[in-house]
Amino acid sequence: MRAMDSSKISHYPIGALLMVFLGAVCLVFGGVLMMGFGHDWHPLLASSNAGLVFAVSGVALVGSGIFPIVFALLAAADRRAALAQPVVVEPEQRAAGPDQSTSI
Protein backbone atom coordinates (compact mmCIF):
# COMPACT_ATOMS: atom_id res chain seq x y z
CA MET A 1 0.00 0.00 0.00
CA ARG A 2 1.24 3.47 -0.85
CA ALA A 3 1.01 6.28 1.66
CA MET A 4 -1.18 9.12 0.48
CA ASP A 5 0.55 12.41 -0.24
CA SER A 6 -1.30 15.07 1.73
CA SER A 7 -0.06 17.86 -0.57
CA LYS A 8 -2.10 16.42 -3.46
CA ILE A 9 -5.35 16.13 -1.48
CA SER A 10 -7.46 19.25 -1.43
CA HIS A 11 -9.59 19.76 1.66
CA TYR A 12 -12.38 22.28 1.47
CA PRO A 13 -13.86 23.73 4.66
CA ILE A 14 -17.00 21.81 5.60
CA GLY A 15 -18.83 24.96 6.67
CA ALA A 16 -18.17 26.59 3.33
CA LEU A 17 -19.47 23.58 1.44
CA LEU A 18 -22.57 23.57 3.65
CA MET A 19 -23.20 27.25 2.93
CA VAL A 20 -22.85 26.71 -0.82
CA PHE A 21 -25.25 23.76 -0.65
CA LEU A 22 -27.82 25.68 1.40
CA GLY A 23 -27.46 28.66 -0.95
CA ALA A 24 -28.21 26.43 -3.92
CA VAL A 25 -31.27 25.05 -2.11
CA CYS A 26 -32.47 28.61 -1.39
CA LEU A 27 -31.96 29.58 -5.04
CA VAL A 28 -33.98 26.59 -6.27
CA PHE A 29 -36.72 27.20 -3.70
CA GLY A 30 -36.80 30.90 -4.62
CA GLY A 31 -37.19 29.97 -8.28
CA VAL A 32 -40.04 27.62 -7.44
CA LEU A 33 -41.76 30.36 -5.44
CA MET A 34 -41.29 32.89 -8.24
CA MET A 35 -43.04 30.48 -10.62
CA GLY A 36 -46.09 30.66 -8.35
CA PHE A 37 -46.09 27.24 -6.69
CA GLY A 38 -46.04 28.57 -3.09
CA HIS A 39 -49.61 29.87 -2.96
CA ASP A 40 -51.02 26.64 -1.57
CA TRP A 41 -48.19 25.91 0.86
CA HIS A 42 -48.31 28.86 3.28
CA PRO A 43 -49.81 32.38 3.29
CA LEU A 44 -46.37 34.00 3.66
CA LEU A 45 -45.08 32.13 0.64
CA ALA A 46 -47.98 33.48 -1.42
CA SER A 47 -46.45 36.94 -1.25
CA SER A 48 -45.10 38.28 -4.52
CA ASN A 49 -41.64 38.92 -3.09
CA ALA A 50 -41.15 35.66 -1.17
CA GLY A 51 -39.30 34.07 -4.07
CA LEU A 52 -37.08 37.11 -4.44
CA VAL A 53 -36.17 36.97 -0.75
CA PHE A 54 -35.12 33.34 -1.06
CA ALA A 55 -33.17 34.02 -4.26
CA VAL A 56 -31.25 36.92 -2.71
CA SER A 57 -30.54 34.85 0.41
CA GLY A 58 -29.29 32.02 -1.79
CA VAL A 59 -26.91 34.32 -3.65
CA ALA A 60 -25.60 35.68 -0.33
CA LEU A 61 -25.05 32.17 1.05
CA VAL A 62 -23.25 30.99 -2.09
CA GLY A 63 -21.08 34.10 -2.13
CA SER A 64 -20.20 33.69 1.55
CA GLY A 65 -19.36 30.04 1.04
CA ILE A 66 -17.11 30.65 -1.95
CA PHE A 67 -14.67 32.90 -0.06
CA PRO A 68 -13.24 30.18 2.24
CA ILE A 69 -13.07 27.76 -0.70
CA VAL A 70 -11.07 30.27 -2.76
CA PHE A 71 -8.76 30.89 0.21
CA ALA A 72 -8.22 27.12 0.61
CA LEU A 73 -7.39 26.83 -3.10
CA LEU A 74 -4.94 29.74 -2.90
CA ALA A 75 -3.26 28.25 0.17
CA ALA A 76 -2.92 24.89 -1.58
CA ALA A 77 -1.41 26.57 -4.65
CA ASP A 78 1.00 28.47 -2.41
CA ARG A 79 2.06 25.23 -0.70
CA ARG A 80 2.62 23.56 -4.08
CA ALA A 81 4.67 26.53 -5.30
CA ALA A 82 6.79 26.46 -2.13
CA LEU A 83 7.46 22.75 -2.58
CA ALA A 84 8.41 23.20 -6.24
CA GLN A 85 11.08 25.85 -5.58
CA PRO A 86 14.60 24.51 -5.11
CA VAL A 87 16.22 25.13 -1.76
CA VAL A 88 19.37 27.27 -2.08
CA VAL A 89 21.90 26.77 0.67
CA GLU A 90 24.12 29.79 1.18
CA PRO A 91 27.76 29.02 1.97
CA GLU A 92 28.78 30.03 5.44
CA GLN A 93 30.67 33.28 5.62
CA ARG A 94 34.16 33.18 7.02
CA ALA A 95 34.78 34.83 10.32
CA ALA A 96 36.96 37.73 9.14
CA GLY A 97 37.51 39.31 12.47
CA PRO A 98 36.61 42.91 13.30
CA ASP A 99 35.13 45.07 10.58
CA GLN A 100 37.94 46.95 8.81
CA SER A 101 35.68 49.46 7.04
CA THR A 102 35.36 51.87 9.96
CA SER A 103 38.31 53.78 11.31
CA ILE A 104 38.52 55.42 14.68
Q: Kindly state the average pLDDT of the residues 64-90.
A: 84
Overall domain count for the chain? 1
Instruction: Pick 92 or 9 by higher pLDDT.
Output: 92
pLDDT band at 11 (very low <50, low <70, confident <90, very high): confident
The reply to whether 94 falls in a domain is no
The reply to whether 33 falls in a domain is yes
Tell me the residue range of the domain where 44 lies.
Answer: 14-84
Q: Kindly state the average pLDDT of the residues 74-91.
A: 80
**Which residues make Cβ contacts (< 8 Å) with residue 19, sequence separation at least 6?**
61, 62, 64, 65
Residue 27 pLDDT > 90: yes
Q: Kindly state the average pLDDT of the residues 71-81.
A: 87
Task: Report yes or no on whether pTM surpasses 0.85.
Answer: no
Q: Which of 83, 78, 82, 76 is nearest to 12 (CA)?
A: 76
